[in-house]
């Protein structure tokens, strides 16, 4: 993972902003900060989080070289990097800490804390109420100054935060530090009158939050490109122009109000949703740079093109680990995580290009040796595949997205051994 964001795990800096004011030297009122990471809170939180999400089996497999095997029957190979990243752990810790710190106050969560249904269900069971990630007026008006609002790991849009600030509520901001690094870059582009080209999914909460940062000062612009095909379309428009109406229709819902491709593609800066494939983001950067060099000349490219590496370190670690696992492909690959998890979907995408790959959210989706229910990214729906688990000796690769807890990985591995009709072999306990 990249270096830890501004709140460290020692709890020195507060992560929660409470609407009690204190006067600064400039005479302005500033929110008072409190520390949710006090030892008395975090000791209880850590115990609760471990009880919900820890897996002794996964830790033993990790200590055994990431392999669990009954020779001649079943071998499970676990990727070297998998599951919860620091940003996800932090978001969950802060949500649990908010419940401990404010046991008698209403707590609301904007959308999902992370993209994992089991984790979000557990958050709701703690009495934290989910509202829309982009709340309507009725939801906003229901918030009072006594309420707590949790901002999820993806962040929230500038307009949503401003509306909630006007209600005087307390924020618990769990926004990932890597996401905030992208925001900083996008805001800088805006100040320099550079249009942000955001490689991402225009409908994803993180990209919605990031694109709103381009408009934070009221004058910036952005355009979201999803893939290399859309990038090429933009590059061709930069070089040769085209029909503006057709361009705007093609990218409808993926650009800022007032965006004009004839005006706002003269200087661009690339940013990205942090969970995209690094190689694809790098190719987006390369193609746009080449287009600007051809349009304006190599000597002038610095006036028309900017970029900054904003791929999340944990995302890249999991992609690199899966790439290494697939160098000697197993018989099939199981990718575990929430179906709306961007980083998990890219792991499944990597596997699908090489071997039979099944993107599942938990062990119950392996119904039998003859039936598995899994997510089809192309149809964007859960589908069923028959006769998915071969007879005879079998090697299964397993990985999980950054929002998948270890207990769900354990559940999948246990189900595999159950379906193959063998007991899980004993393993030495991990060294603490």
- Catalytic residue flag (residue 43): no
- Per-residue model confidence (pLDDT) at position 10: 31
Q: Which pair of structure tokens corresponds to residue 81?
A: 């990097």
For 311-325, what is each residue's pLDDT tens digit?
788 888 999 999 999
Domain ranges for the chain: 53-84+314-420, 86-176, 178-311
Q: Which CATH fold topology does 53-84+314-420 show?
A: Cobalt-precorrin-4 Transmethylase; domain 1 (3.40.1010)
| Domain 86-176 class in CATH | alpha beta
How far, in Å, CA of 342 to CA of 354, rounded? 20
pLDDT at 93 over 50: yes
Our CA angle for 276, 97, 164, nearest 5°, is 70
Which residue, among 307, 303, 323, has the nearest Cα to 315 in the 3D structure? 323
Tokens read off for 412:
């999948």
Same fold, 53-84+314-420 and 86-176: no
**Is the predicted pLDDT of residue 32 greater than 60, yes or no?**
no
Q: What is the structure's pLDDT at 426?
A: 83
182-211: per-residue pLDDT in tens? 999 999 999 999 999 999 999 999 999 999
Q: Among residues 205, 206, 280, 410, which one is catalytic? A: 206
In words, the CATH class of domain 178-311 is alpha beta
Residue 28 has pLDDT above 70, yes or no: no
Conformation bin of residue 426: beta by default, left when phi > 0, alpha when psi is -120 to 50: beta
Using CA of residue 254, residue 258, residue 263, residue 266, what is the dihedral sign?
A: negative
For residue 338, what are its two tokens? 């929430």
Give the max Cα distance, the chain.
75
**pLDDT at residue number 29:** 44
18 CB burial (10 A radius; 0-12, 13-18, 19+):
middle
Q: pTM of the predicted model, to two decimals? A: 0.86
Which pLDDT band holds residue 13 (cuts at 50, 70, 90)?
very low
Q: pLDDT by residue (tens digit) across 376-414? A: 999 999 999 999 999 999 999 999 999 999 999 999 999
């Amino acid at each position: 993972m990249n270096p830890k964001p501004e709140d460290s795990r020692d709890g020195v800096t507060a992560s929660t902003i409470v609407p009690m004011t204190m006067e600064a030297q400039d005479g302005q009122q500033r929110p008072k900060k409190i520390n949710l990471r006090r030892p008395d809170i975090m000791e209880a939180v850590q115990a609760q989080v471990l009880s919900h999400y820890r897996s002794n089996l996964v830790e033993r497999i990790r200590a055994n070289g990431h392999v669990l095997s009954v020779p001649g029957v079943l071998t499970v190979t676990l990727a070297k990097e998998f599951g919860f990243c620091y940003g996800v752990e932090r978001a969950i810790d802060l949500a649990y800490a908010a419940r401990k710190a404010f046991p008698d106050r209403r707590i609301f969560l904007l959308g999902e804390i992370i993209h994992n249904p089991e984790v979000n269900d557990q958050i709701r069971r703690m009495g934290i109420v989910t509202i829309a990630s982009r709340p309507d007026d009725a939801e906003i008006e229901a918030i009072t100054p006594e309420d707590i609002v949790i901002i999820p790991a993806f962040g929230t849009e500038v307009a949503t935060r401003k509306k909630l600030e006007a209600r005087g509520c307390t924020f618990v901001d769990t926004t990932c530090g890597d996401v905030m690094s992208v925001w900083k870059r996008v805001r800088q582009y805006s100040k320099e009158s550079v249009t942000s080209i955001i490689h991402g999914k225009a409908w994803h909460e993180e990209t919605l939050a990031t694109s709103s940062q381009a408009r934070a000062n009221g004058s910036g612009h952005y355009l979201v490109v999803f893939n290399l095909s859309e990038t090429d379309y933009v590059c061709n428009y930069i070089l040769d122009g085209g029909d503006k109406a057709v361009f705007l229709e093609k990218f409808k819902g993926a650009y800022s109000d007032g965006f004009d491709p004839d005006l706002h593609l003269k200087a661009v800066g690339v940013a990205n949703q942090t969970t995209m494939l690094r190689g694809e983001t790098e190719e987006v950067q390369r193609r746009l740079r080449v287009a600007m060099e051809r349009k304006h000349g190599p000597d002038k490219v610095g006036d028309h093109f900017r970029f900054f590496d904003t791929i999340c370190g944990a995302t890249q670690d999991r992609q690199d680990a899966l790439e290494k696992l697939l160098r000697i492909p197993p018989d099939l690959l199981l990718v575990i995580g929430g179906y709306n998890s961007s980083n998990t979907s890219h792991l499944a995408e990597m596997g699908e290009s090489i071997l039979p790959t099944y993107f599942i959210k938990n062990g119950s989706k392996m119904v039998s040796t003859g039936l598995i229910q899994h997510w089809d990214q192309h149809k964007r729906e859960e589908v069923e595949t028959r006769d998915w688990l071969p007879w005879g000796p079998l090697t299964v690769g397993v990985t999980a997205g950054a929002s998948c807890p270890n207990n769900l990985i354990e559940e999948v591995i246990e189900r595999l051994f159950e379906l193959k009709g063998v007991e899980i072999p004993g393993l030495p306990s991990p060294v603490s």
